[in-house]
Amino acid sequence: MSDAISVDAATAMSAAPFLKRREIILAMMTLGAGTFCNETDTTGTTYRTAADWLDVHDGEHVERLIRFDLDALHGEDVTETVADAWLNGFEQSPEQEHRLPAFVRTSQAWERWCADFSAQCAPFGQTAHGTLNHRQQFGTSLR
């Protein structure tokens, strides 16, 4: 077994999961004039990726997502990570922005996604040149 394969396998196996058993997601929401925090029911569950977490939680009214470690009493903003995972399955156009949860609409991931979408759908950018010269196109009687 080559060293490159064993290093890649070790890296893949040691990649930290998105959410560990002693971590929760705190969902920050603004409803009406107030800001609320909701704790997700993830204690005791490990999620390998943000996409795995999204399979169970939709985050419809959420504006920010904080991964909170119950042992270390420390939080980390994972809004961008989850927004990237949410957009991986979004196969529509930027005009469908109203279908996105708030945390995706306000994320940098959405800005990157829109820029990539525009780059992929941009019209052919090279100037077209025909085979006719100016006189053949417009005639010789131009004055």
More confident residue, 9 or 104: 104
- Per-residue pLDDT band for 123 (boundaries 50, 70, 90) equals low
- Per-residue pLDDT band for 140 (boundaries 50, 70, 90) equals low
Contact present, 113 and 90 (Cβ < 8 Å): yes
pLDDT for residue 67: 94
Map out the domains of the chain as residue ranges.
Answer: 17-120
Lowest mean pLDDT among 28-32, 57-61, 114-118: 57-61
Q: What is the CA radius of gyration of the chain?
A: 25
At a CB cut-off of 8 Å and minimum separation 6, what does 93 contact?
A: 117
Residue of 7, 52, 6 lying closest to 25 (CA atoms): 52
How many CA atoms are closer than 13 Å to the CA of 94, on its beta-carbon side?
A: 13
| pLDDT higher than threshold 80 for residue 71 | yes
| pLDDT higher than threshold 90 for residue 82 | yes
- Per-residue pLDDT band for 141 (boundaries 50, 70, 90) equals low
| pLDDT higher than threshold 90 for residue 75 | yes
- Per-residue pLDDT band for 6 (boundaries 50, 70, 90) equals very low
pTM above 0.75, yes or no: no
CB atoms within 10 A of CB 38: 13
